[in-house]
Amino acid sequence: MTDSRDIKPFAASRGPKITSVGAIVGAAVAGGLLLGGIGAGASLAVFDAPERADFLMQPAQREVQADIMDPDDVLTPEEEERMLGDVSRIAAPDVVQGLHYMVFAKNKENVNDSVEEYLRDNHPELIGKDKFADGQVFVGVGLDPRQAFVFAGEDVAEQMKLRKKDSHLEQSIEAIKPGVRDDNIPAGLFAGAAAAIDVDRAADTQFESAQNNRVGAAIGLGVAGLSVGGAGAGIVGGTRRTRQKNAQQAREDWDYVSQTYTDVAQRLREIDIRAHSLQSGLVDERLREDWEGLRDDFLAIDDKVGSLMSIPADAPDEQFRSRSVLIARARLLCERVETAESNIEKLHRIENADTDTRRYELYELGKDLAQAGYLAADIDSALERHAKELEDTAVALSEEPNHPQFMECYLELLDRTALLSEHLQAQLQKENEAEERPVRTHIYDSHFFAGSGYHGYVPFYVVSTWDSDATAARDSSSGSSGGVNSGFSSGFSGSGGSSSF
């Protein structure tokens, strides 16, 4: 059984009863809870400094539709079933309507041509005369000769930066290679899809790229001197478009906040009470810190949000743009509180023997242990068997949701799963040479499920993504990347590309 010395219920930190947002703020403050080169340098002033908020995207409220195109039956039915199930873990934006995994046992020297020809022959609705159909993403691999690829419709490519020379395209293709290189095609394709269309990962990549581009452009201006005149018009035009885009995003965020913030603030006390009523071992110190930190961050912007509400809907762009960071922050916190509320309610239902919730969370744990099997297969057959045993245990427990010792059995299963996760991370880190281990999920994450974080348990889908990213970074730094090929022999000009490995 598990060691519960570090496990404390939310109730252990319950404070005085709070009756309003303002009172919560006062109580939190009183309790100490609120957490609070010359030429190139001058040229930086020409460019707006990128903000992380400029690249935030909202995930769709629906699961992206996915299918698998495997004309040579490389994948087993079990692998295909798991791949399609794992798609639910990808937080894709609304622009992505369809995700298509593709696997070729034998392909042309330029796999791009194999992709085009296969789609024209079998799925003409997904490809036009010159471009891929809007809303579509294609992630796949050709095994002979071996090449990984990512392609997309123009609307997706524009929003997710999947065009030729986009660093995000290259990183998405590189994410596929480690899994395939280890004969784990499902893991490789999932990693590539997550890298390409998951909104959080795409935002991080695009923000880093914008920072690097700003510095590089400034250095170029410093060196070019007077010759910059002709390019200056293009720079100004690009900056103007960026400012317009930022203003439009700020308006959309403001619209969301103006409709949502007050309602979330009014429910905050109720959510806080529910959180502090949780008593089971699923709720540890770090989970309490997750919620309380989020609650206090939300409270900390309470006085600032009032100024946002006074902005009229027809205010000039500059008024929205000047407050875009605060508006984006307010939206992010509203969304996180709502997600945390859902997850807290989920934990409450598990504690109170809601059979459907217990079954579903064990289903999610079983899916994650199947992902562990993918990872373990390339490391140690004993680890793979252990992952399968734990997956079978999760299935068996899901069939007895009303068992009198359900919570004890559940916690023991999570304890063993946490040990497996730790061991796999240690083995993978030796190979991928990552400096840090993957980060656990939080109470405000959309893919949080009961048990994430228990005794340090990092879900295996997170471990898989971490391993793919770290391996791609290692290979890129060693110069093993083959570059991105975006050409087609037919003259087709769809967005995306491929790379040999």
d(CA 35, CA 323): 22
d(CA 226, CA 39): 12
pTM for the model: 0.59
For residue 482, what pLDDT is reported?
53
For residue 19, what pLDDT is reported?
36
d(CA 372, CA 421): 8
For residue 241, what pLDDT is reported?
62
Q: Which helix (H) or strand (E) holds 495?
A: strand 495-500
d(CA 179, CA 66): 20
Instruction: Please name each of the domains of the chain with its CATH number.
Output: 38-55+204-234 (no CATH), 65-199 (3.10.310.50)
CA gyration radius, the chain: 25
For residue 101, what pLDDT is reported?
98
Q: Is 62 exposed, middle or buried (0-12, 13-18, 19+ CB in 10 A)?
A: exposed
DSSP 124: G
- Phi, psi (deg, nearest 5) at residue 497: 180, -175
DSSP 47: S
* Strands 146-152 and 136-143, sheet pairing: antiparallel
375 closest CA partner among 412, 422, 416, 415: 422
Beta strand extents in 130-229 (DSSP E only): 136-143, 146-152
For residue 203, what pLDDT is reported?
61
pLDDT averaged per 10 residues in sequence order, the chain, 501 residues: 42 38 41 38 48 54 88 94 90 93 96 96 95 97 96 95 90 92 92 91 57 48 46 50 78 92 95 95 90 95 85 88 90 95 96 96 93 87 94 96 96 96 93 88 89 90 85 64 82 94 90
112 closest CA partner among 75, 150, 76, 82: 150
> Cβ neighbours of residue 22 under 8 Å, at least 6 residues apart?
302
Beta strand extents in 115-178 (DSSP E only): 136-143, 146-152
- Phi, psi (deg, nearest 5) at residue 339: -65, -45
For residue 214, what pLDDT is reported?
47
DSSP for 250-310? HHHHHHHHHHHHHHHHHHHHHHHHHHHH--STT--HHHHHHHHHHHHHHHHTHHHHHHHHT
For residue 51, what pLDDT is reported?
54
Cβ pair 501, 480 in contact under 8 A: yes
d(CA 494, CA 119): 12
